[in-house]
């Protein structure tokens, strides 16, 4: 009974999502393969029929195979699949006590980042998805200094063979340093620390269909973020900046 209830809830949420997407669509002129021209708003596809709505609010269903190839592809891409997105990380630490006389017990954190994407909606989706993921660190002791420490892109086609999912790990190992100067009182950690991530998924048109991040400013400024190179410092508008300089203690 519980499984049936969950299936009903899932179906209702999927239908609600389709309705919300349809409300955001606009009226346009359609031309069928036989030359028939009409104006309507595309709603959804069900049982190989396309539901359309005219300006009077009346709906009708037209067989999918009556449309052109380009329109059929549009119906396949919109609405996009429901995706579950997870950011992954593995880490280990190394500690040294004699690297520098003036530095007390530096600790090196080694990170490897990855991402998992899983299609949760029913039905086939026969188009490749592109996955971008950015890994962000922050400079210790500064509230507005961030570092792009990794960027990767990959693609996959949801299918039965891969269980409609993809999990990929970056080949890059990110090294983040934590140390302090012995004469500082109180002792202030220096170096870098892991901060955040951004995952963006686009369809074959280059349209963003899903994204995930704990920090909205990363997605809001993604065009500037894409211009940075790994290792670049940035502020919270993703503009490149210089690293922060600790306050001088002696000369």
Per-residue pLDDT of 132-186, as tens digits, reads: 999 999 999 898 999 999 999 999 999 999 999 999 999 999 999 987 765 555 6
Tell me, yes or no, if the pTM score tops 0.85.
no
Which range scores top for mean pLDDT: 14-18, 97-101, 135-139?
135-139
Angle (nearest 5°) at CA 107 between 101 and 109: 150
Q: Single out the residue in 77, 101, 123 at which a domain terminates.
A: 77
Local structure of 22: helix, strand or coil: helix
Say whether both 168 and 223 belong to one domain: yes
Q: Single out the residue in 35, 59, 77 at which a domain terminates.
A: 77
Provide the residue range defining the domain that includes 34: 2-77
Say whether both 187 and 227 belong to one domain: yes
Count of domains observed in the chain = 2
Distance CA 29, CA 11 (A): 31
**249: in domain:** no
Distance CA 202, CA 98 (A): 48
Give the DSSP H/E element, type plus range, for residue 4.
helix 2-23
Residue 2's pLDDT is what? 47
**250: in domain:** no
**247: in domain:** no
């Amino acid at each position: 009974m519980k499984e049936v209830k969950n299936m009903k809830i899932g179906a209702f949420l999927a239908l609600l999502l389709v309705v919300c997407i349809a409300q955001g669509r606009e009226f346009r002129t359609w031309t069928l393969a036989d030359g028939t021209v009409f104006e309507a708003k595309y709603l959804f596809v069900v049982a190989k029929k396309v539901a359309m709505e005219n300006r009077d609010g009346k709906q009708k269903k037209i067989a999918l195979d009556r449309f052109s190839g380009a329109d059929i592809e549009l119906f396949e891409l919109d609405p996009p699949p429901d995706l579950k997105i997870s950011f992954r990380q593995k880490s280990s630490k190394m500690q040294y006590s004699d690297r520098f006389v003036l530095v007390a017990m530096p600790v090196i954190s080694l990170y490897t980042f990855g991402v998992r994407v899983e299609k949760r909606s029913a039905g086939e989706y026969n188009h490749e998805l592109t996955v971008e993921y950015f890994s962000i660190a922050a400079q210790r002791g500064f509230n507005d200094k961030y570092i792009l420490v990794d960027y990767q892109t990959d693609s996959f086609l949801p299918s039965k063979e891969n269980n409609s999912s993809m999990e990929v790990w970056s080949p890059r190992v990110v090294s983040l340093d934590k140390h302090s100067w012995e004469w500082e009182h109180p002792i202030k950690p220096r170096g870098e620390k892991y901060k955040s991530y951004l995952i963006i998924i686009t369809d074959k048109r280059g349209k963003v269909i899903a994204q995930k991040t704990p920090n909205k400013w990363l997605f809001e400024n993604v065009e500037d973020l894409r211009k940075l190179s790994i290792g670049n410092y940035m502020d919270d508008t993703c503009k490149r900046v210089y690293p922060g300089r600790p306050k001088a203690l002696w000369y």
